[in-house]
Structure 1
Amino acid sequence: MIKKKLHIIKNIVTAIAVTMFFSCNNDFDEVQKVGILQNQPIGEAENIDLKYTELKNDTVKLQANLISPKMLDYSNRDFAFSEFPDGLKLKIYDDDNNMTTITSRYAIFYSETDLIDLRGNVVIATYTKDTLFTEQLYYSEKMEWVFTNQPFYYKQTIGFTKGNGFDADKDFNNFQMLEMGGDFELDN
């Protein structure tokens, strides 16, 4: 009796295994399509006008305004990021409502590290009319720090400075150049 039940179970398992074996398809084209979908953005937005506000003393205060023609959301990746392929304009407001404007032709924001990589004709214009020009600039939101190893040109009301590479806090109060002088050319 037990041998008969074992024999029946063995036959059922064999039938299921054979059915599964012959029903499997190795369609490489379908596998490739899945890979392509994983490399596509999970979301796409156009004509972005994002306002970041903060509640202070029962008053809502505008902290920043991000404007961009297009944003691609890659939060489906292991190392999530948002890409701004057509550039961006970021207006940042301080406690006295003074505005600093940052523009670039391309940007990418890495959400896990809070690092922003700005590229292509990067310009930072402060409310005091100080202006920084460079081709690539990184901004760390956590440290509130900007830095680059690229050539830069920094125009102030008291004169100008140009060099290669710098580090600075977000208000440019603590500014350090890596190398003074050098050639500077904007990407046209």
Structure 2
Amino acid sequence: MMRCIFFIALAALACSCSKTDVKKPVEYTGPISEAEKVELYYTENDKVKIKMLADVLYEFQTGDREFPKGIYMEFYKEDGSLESTLRANHAYFFKAENQWRGRGKVEVKNLQKSEQLNTEELFWKPAEKKIFTEKFVTIRQQGDVIYGVGLDAKQDLSDYTIRTPTGEFEVKE
């Protein structure tokens, strides 16, 4: 009888001891810093090349930056005159690729040629001074409107190629 009680007690003790679950710590992937009402200037040779305004800026551990409330940029020529502007409802900078992405209502204006590009997504490579998209685009020129899908252009919109153009426009010979 004592043996039976001993084995029952041993079994009860073994059942009551269970492993505690060790949970892995959750890794934080959110922003490491946040700034509001940001105004940044990019310069070359002591001349302002780009002025950037944003209501909110998040910076991440990877060096990526997010602008969840949109971005506005001004691009300046060598002589200091305003050449073009870019506006987007949401923007993201990918540090590893040195590339920007604008989403939402994206608008690029070339003030010298009085042209305007509108699209829902646009990528910008600052090192190459190029913009591009795979999305639908609208370009308003003086008197003409060109539509299409896909675009490759200089960042100031001074030269561009629409991959699949549509619409009517006047060709000057």
Coarse TM-score class (shorter-chain normalised): 0.7 to 0.9
What SS is found at the alignment partner of 1:176? strand
Does the 8 Å CA contact 1:137/1:146 hold for their aligned counterparts?
yes
CA distance in 1, matches of 2:166, 2:128: 27
What SS is found at the alignment partner of 2:25? helix
CA-atom RMSD in angstroms = 1.8
Does residue 88 (structure 1) correspond to residue 74 (structure 2)? The answer is: no
Q: Give the letter aligned to residue 35 of structure 2.
A: A
Question: What's the counterpart of residue 108 of structure 2?
Answer: 124
Of 139, 144, 163, which aligns to 2:124?
139
Structure 1 residue 47: deviation in Å?
Answer: 0.6
Does the 8 Å CA contact 1:87/1:103 hold for their aligned counterparts?
yes
Does the 8 Å CA contact 2:110/2:157 hold for their aligned counterparts?
no
Does residue 31 (structure 1) correspond to residue 16 (structure 2)? The answer is: no
Q: Percent identity?
A: 24
Does the 8 Å CA contact 1:81/1:110 hold for their aligned counterparts?
yes
- Larger helix share, 1 or 2: 1
Does the 8 Å CA contact 2:35/2:57 hold for their aligned counterparts?
yes
Q: Give the letter aligned to residue 48 of structure 2.
A: L
Structure 1 residue 96: deviation in Å?
Answer: 2.8
Does the 8 Å CA contact 1:66/1:88 hold for their aligned counterparts?
yes
Q: Give the letter aligned to residue 58 of structure 2.
A: L
Question: What's the counterpart of residue 153 of structure 1?
Answer: 138
Q: Which runs of 5+ in 2 are unaligned?
A: 1-19, 168-173
Does the 8 Å CA contact 1:163/1:180 hold for their aligned counterparts?
yes
CA distance in 2, matches of 1:106, 1:167: 21
Q: Give the letter aligned to residue 98 of structure 2.
A: D
Does the 8 Å CA contact 1:114/1:140 hold for their aligned counterparts?
yes
Does residue 69 (structure 1) correspond to residue 55 (structure 2)? The answer is: yes
TM-score (norm 1): 0.71
How many residue pairs align between the two structures?
146
Does residue 115 (structure 1) correspond to residue 109 (structure 2)? The answer is: no
Question: What's the counterpart of residue 85 of structure 2?
Answer: 101
Question: What's the counterpart of residue 54 of structure 1?
Answer: 44
Structure 1 residue 173: deviation in Å?
Answer: 3.8
TM-score (norm 2): 0.77
Deviations 1:124-144 (A, max 9, x none): 112122111100000111211
Structure 1 residue 27: deviation in Å?
Answer: 4.6
Deviations 1:106-158 (A, max 9, x none): 00001121110000100011212211110000011121111111111101125
Deviations 1:64-99 (A, max 9, x none): 11100001001x13xx41000100001110113232
CA distance in 1, matches of 2:79, 2:145: 26
Structure 1 residue 178: deviation in Å?
Answer: 1.2
1:49–1:110 distance in 2 versus 1, CA, 3 Å: same
Does residue 175 (structure 1) correspond to residue 166 (structure 2)? The answer is: no
